[in-house]
Chain A
Amino acid sequence: GEDVEQSLFLSVREGDSSVINCTYTDSSSTYLYWYKQEPGAGLQLLTYIFSNMDMKQDQRLTVLLNKKDKHLSLRIADTQTGDSAIYFCAEGIFGNEKLTFGTGTRLTIIP
């Protein structure tokens, strides 16, 4: 099957920027997503990007997509303690409701 890969852990000092990376293999992906999961909770959609875009910014969040390299990143500016969570990237194809999730990156904020 198609794979979506992420680093398992990332530690960032409070106030710095966090960059979480994701690589995927399905070239037919139409949408790419970033979800946030706080401890013991379900997933919350943070943002998504359509595959014909290369960047999307939403307040502190910036998503970059390199379709050629099948690389997706999420940058969180001015990282706060409330940003501590697991971040999942996911890919989807228009017309197919199934999503394929990455392994998740646990973001830890260092005071």
Chain B
Amino acid sequence: GAVVSQHPSRVICKSGTSVKIECRSLDFQATTMFWYRQFPKKSLMLMATSNEGSKATYEQGVEKDKFLINHASLTLSTLTVTSAHPEDSSFYICSAGTSGNYNEQFFGPGTRLTVL
């Protein structure tokens, strides 16, 4: 089946620093990747939709200058949390869309970000 990886799986950083999270589709090409944020006991919140070679589309309320998304190739998208703040601490999950018959998304294992 389609495999999506994320790196790192866990990261701890100091306030004010930037953190980059990578999302890779390992055995298929993903024209679209999605970035989600998951809060405890809450659903996944879609942050942005990333299309290869074009600017990401951000959901309402998500600061595009704070959460920089780059989708440089059909197998790699990156999310950079800039000037990280403790309130940015969360579980970030990416997924890759296949535009298949039933719009399936393949999810990465997630990245736990802790900002001190």
Binding site for B on A (CB under 8 A): 4, 8, 30-31, 33, 35, 40-45, 48, 50, 88, 92, 94, 96-99, 101-104
B83 is an interface residue with CB less than 8 A from chain A: no
Distance in angstroms between the alpha carbons of A76 and B42 in the assembled complex: 22
- Chain B 81-116 residues near chain A, CB threshold 8 A: 93, 95, 97, 99, 102-110, 112
Minimum C-beta distance from A56 to chain B (A):
12
Distance in angstroms between the alpha carbons of A102 and B46 in the assembled complex: 12
15 A-B pairs besides A4-B43, A31-B102, A98-B49 with CB distance below 8 A are A33-B104, A40-B109, A40-B112, A42-B95, A42-B107, A43-B93, A43-B95, A88-B44, A96-B103, A97-B49, A97-B99, A98-B46, A99-B103, A103-B43, A104-B43
Binding site for A on B (CB under 8 A): 4, 6, 32, 34, 41-44, 46, 49, 93, 95, 97, 99, 102-110, 112
* Complex contact B43–A48 (CB within 8 A): no
* Complex contact A88–B102 (CB within 8 A): no
8 pairs of A and B residues whose beta carbons are closest in the complex: A42-B107, A43-B107, A97-B97, A103-B43, A42-B109, A101-B43, A101-B44, A92-B103
Q: Chain A: which residue is nearest B112 at the CB level? A: A40
Which residues of A sit under 8 angstroms from B46, Cβ to Cβ? 98-99
Chain A interface, DSSP helix/strand/loop, else mixed: strand
User: In the complex, which of the residues B4, B49, B105 has the most CB atoms of chain A within 10 Å of its own CB atom?
Assistant: B105
* Complex contact B44–A94 (CB within 8 A): no
Which residues of B sit under 8 angstroms from A92, Cβ to Cβ? 102-103
Which residues of A sit under 8 angstroms from B112, Cβ to Cβ? 40
* Complex contact B43–A88 (CB within 8 A): yes
Which residues of B sit under 8 angstroms from A31, Cβ to Cβ? 102-103
Q: Chain B: which residue is nearest A32 at the CB level? A: B102
Q: Which of B34, B41, B49, B110 contacts A8 (CB 8 A)?
A: B41
